[in-house]
Structure 1
């Protein structure tokens, strides 16, 4: 009986433990500017739902986003097909573009990368 109670207590404690994961947002100029002003580490993800490279990047970004190291990372997804103003502002000409910022400073960019190690290294530049 005591063992079951202890196991249930430990399971409940694990479920109650906060998960530190990168916060993902749909891109808005206001949200992006607020994150920059706050000095947050930022990833801008230029994404298209039909893009095979974007689809290959997604599980990598999701896994990296769960790493506690990236717990303060703010991720803004820009829709390649509908957010043309943002594409111009970021000087992005293709989907599958990843851009990282430390506050207001761009610190790195990649296009078409599907390597977990190099995407991780890119995200490190935002910290």
Structure 2
């Protein structure tokens, strides 16, 4: 399915409100670890699990309202939502932890 960039607070609210679990990558253009793990996140989104989970990304510098509302302090941070609720968080560029969270909710 690929990764979709969230470009507004309204779009963010719409994306997280669905019953399909959604994982959002909070990243920044200046973040080295973000650049390292981003291709892994993109590759996972193109596997069959991409049909079961929504894959999105938020540039923390462009979407400060979203970043502040969630209290994102470290990049990258991956947050899993379902039915409007935050159900899991993975902080840092750890491919194993990211894959574990995706497997948990995309099963």
CA distance in 2, matches of 1:73, 1:83: 22
2:101 is matched with 122
Cα RMSD (Å):
1.9
Moved over 4 A (4+): none
Q: Which has the higher contact order (CA 8 A, sep 6+)?
A: 2
1:75-127 C-alpha deviation (Å, 9 max, x unpaired):
33221223221111111112211111122221211111332x32111123444
Secondary structure (helix, strand or coil) at the match of 2:44 reads: helix
Structure 2, unaligned stretches of length 5 or more? none
Secondary structure (helix, strand or coil) at the match of 1:50 reads: coil
The equivalent position to 2:84 in structure 1, one of 79, 104, 107, is 104
Bigger Cα Rg: 1
1:46-87 C-alpha deviation (Å, 9 max, x unpaired):
111121100111111011111112224223322122322111
Structure 1, unaligned stretches of length 5 or more? 1-20
Q: TM-score, normalised by structure 1?
A: 0.71
Count of paired positions: 106
1:14 is matched with none
